[in-house]
Amino acid sequence: MATQTARPNIAIRPLFIAWLLLVALTVLSLELGQHFHSAVWLQLLVALIVWIKGSLVARHFIEAELATPFIRNVLRAFIAFAPLALVLTAFFGPQFARWATL
């Protein structure tokens, strides 16, 4: 019984679509920032966009699914850290600033 190992995808089309999505999300972020810069909900939406962009890069350009489970999980945690930090500092910024000065 032969085992198949995962191989990198060499197709250009998925990479191009992922790149277009990254560009579209970047433009969307800029537009949202211009029009809704004082909205409270904007931080949550930006955090979601950052998470989606990180996931796209990990899946299509880093090919995280080919990594060992440990590396894949570390990468997932790393991708989740930035959006989580954005939300926490947006809503609890003064508390984090006090903790950082201790």
Burial category of 83 from C-beta neighbours within 10 Å (exposed 0-12, middle 13-18, buried 19 and up)? buried
- Distance set, CA 13 to CA 9, 20, 80 (Å): 10, 10, 27
Taking only the tens place, the pLDDT of each residue in 47-83 is: 999 999 999 999 999 988 898 999 999 999 999 999 9
Is 52 within 8 Å of 83 (Cβ atoms)? Answer: no
Average pLDDT over residues 19-34: 95
Sign of CA dihedral 51, 56, 57, 59: positive
Give the pLDDT of residue 1: 47
pTM for the model: 0.81
